[in-house]
Amino acid sequence: MAGSSTSTAPDPVAVAEVERKFEPGPDFRLPDLSTVSGVATVGEPHVHDLDATYFDTVDLRLARNKITLRRRTGGDDAGWHLKRPRTDGDRDELHAPLGRSRTAVPAALRRPVEVHLRGAELVPVVRLGTMRTVRHLLDADGTVLAEVAQDEVSASTPSPDGASDTVQEWSELEVELVRGDRRLLEAVAGAVVDAGAPLSSSASKLSRALGDRLPPKPGALPDGVRAGTAAAVLVAHLREHVTRLKVNDPLARADRPDAVHQMRVATRRLRSALATYGPLVDRAVTDPQRDELRWLGEVLGHARDAEVIRDELAGLVAAQPAELVLGPVAGRIATTLDVRYRAAHDEVLAVLDGPRYFALLDSLDLLVTDPPLVPAAYGDADDVLLPLVARTFRRLRKLVDAVHAAADDGPSPDAHRHDELLHEVRKAAKRARYAGESLVVVHGGTAKGWAARMEAVQEALGDHQDTVVIRAELLALAAAAHADGEDTFTYGRLHALEQARADATEGRFEQVWKVARTKSGQRWLKP
């Protein structure tokens, strides 16, 4: 891949960077910070000559997302640094060694931002020379609480065509926590501001150097979309889950717990929203997006399902009396499902580095910045959205009626068809739940309560579907064990226990469905 190394080193661990930046004027003098509560002494100044080259795509995809990637020499932390914003306002920082190449970005630092790069080449965009004077703030035991860095910065920024450089110079001051707490940081920040250095208006040295090459921050709503309209609610809902998809991308690449699942949930919620609110968008645009989201969800599902089945079966075996576990049952389950999970996760990684996924991300960006809305979407949120959400409930009720009608016809020999019908009810309940949750922003607790009742239906039948999948897996494991001459008693026992659980979930489904159908809180939708 262009601009990346072929290193297979594991992803580095992100370290929180908690700091404040300031803009000292020409007459600024650092105040005596030993007077700050908790600070016993201020260490002697140490001067470092730093040289950093920042990398980004030609169209500045990292900088647009407030991400910086640099290779820096000099100082105590020479190497490659990747800094990403966190939801709490601070930043994560990941490090990698300098290596031999000055231009090949370590793969371990590219992977966490590939969701933004999407295969594009990384090139030098800014070079910064910094003369840094560092002082440590220490407590009475000599522990470093914070680091104060006064920087004299010179930035060289090539023009887009590479014909010339723009050189800027400025002073900057940073206070970064080491072992101190946030109260100390705020106290030091207050002293610095009082001494004449206001908080910096730039998120980073890179953003200051790039200046007007960075586009303005987009508004909360796309052009032409007014607050209070159906379009505003829909776009906010879509944006939330596009963001969740992107946030979990680097976590899924690093095989972090639950990350693949959360990516899959984001794809489902987006598909569900585009289905529920289909009359508000140009379906010639959104139907292909739904198809691609389904494809991505299926790829993610292979890994997620293997993970869930493995853990469920392992728990089932562990719960059995030892004398009823005959043969290497736990080992066969672990080996079979671990191999399947690894293969499925490898498939996920291949897809996340592929052009089809990148094209989907591009289309989702357009979906929330330039949504393909039709005139009906610009109406009042309640007038437009409530009937569409009510329609999800009517669809759910129709499917439940079909299940009951089949049961009224007498015992059915087609258990597979019965399971399929219940699975369709589950999916419809999930869509109704998601639709209700999309209206929490305008209907608060009423929408939340309605969605919770839909979720109860979904979860009851989710447990039922789990038993369907697990029973099929147990049959396959038993067949493999039999072929290898192993005792299959335990697989049969577990299958019977799962069948009993399936029957119990159907009884629970009937109970929660009665509540969902009759609860007066759903009248706000007038289904």
Assess whether 372 and 393 both reside in one domain. no
Q: Is residue 329 part of a domain?
A: yes
CA dihedral of residues 34, 39, 43, 49 (deg, nearest 10): -100
* Inside any domain, residue 8: no
Last-in-domain residue among 213, 233, 267? 213
pLDDT interval class at 287 (50, 70, 90): very high
Residue 153: beta bridge partners?
A: 130, 170
Question: Which residues span the domain enclosing 349?
Answer: 221-379
Both tokens of residue 73? 């020499």
Q: Give pTM, 2 decimals.
A: 0.87
Of 363, 379, 395, the one marking the end of a domain is: 379
Residues 265 and 198 in one domain: no
Q: Has residue 458 been placed in a domain?
A: yes
Q: How far from chain centre, in Å, is Cα 170? A: 36
The pLDDT of residue 3 is 39
pLDDT at 8 over 90: no
Q: Which of 49-58, 218-227, 331-340 is least confident?
A: 218-227
177 and 19 in contact (C-beta within 8 Å)?
Answer: yes
In a domain, 10, yes or no: no
In a domain, 101, yes or no: yes
Question: Residue 164: its pLDDT value, please?
Answer: 64
Of 379, 395, 414, at which residue does a domain stop?
379
Per-residue model confidence as pLDDT tens digits over 244-286: 999 999 999 999 999 999 999 999 999 999 999 999 999 999 9
- Same domain, residue pair 374 and 384: no
Q: Is residue 5 part of a domain?
A: no
pLDDT at residue 88 is higher than 90: no
Say how far apart CA 467 and CA 503 lie, in whole Å. Answer: 10
Task: Give the number of domains in the chain.
Answer: 3
Q: Which residue from 400, 453, 436 is spatially nearest to 277, judged by alpha carbons?
A: 436
Question: pLDDT by residue (tens digit) across 176-205?
Answer: 999 999 999 999 999 999 999 999 988 889
Q: Render 81-141 in DSSP notation, one character per residue.
A: EEEEE-TTS-EEEEEE---S-SS-B-HHHHGGGHHHHTTPPPEEEEEEEEEEEEEEEE-TT
Same domain as 374, residue 288 = yes
Q: Are residues 402 and 362 in the same domain?
A: no
Regarding whether 489 and 439 lie in a shared domain, the answer is yes
Shared domain check, 392 and 370: no
Residue 231: CATH number of its domain: 1.20.120
Predicted confidence band of residue 160 (pLDDT cuts 50, 70, 90): low
CATH of the domain at 177: 2.40.320.10
SS3 label, residue 58:
coil
- Indicate whether 62 and 205 sit together in one domain: yes
Q: For tokens 């049952």, name the residue.
A: 329
Question: Are 390 and 363 found together in one domain?
Answer: no
Question: Based on C-alpha coordinates, what's the Rg of the chain?
Answer: 29
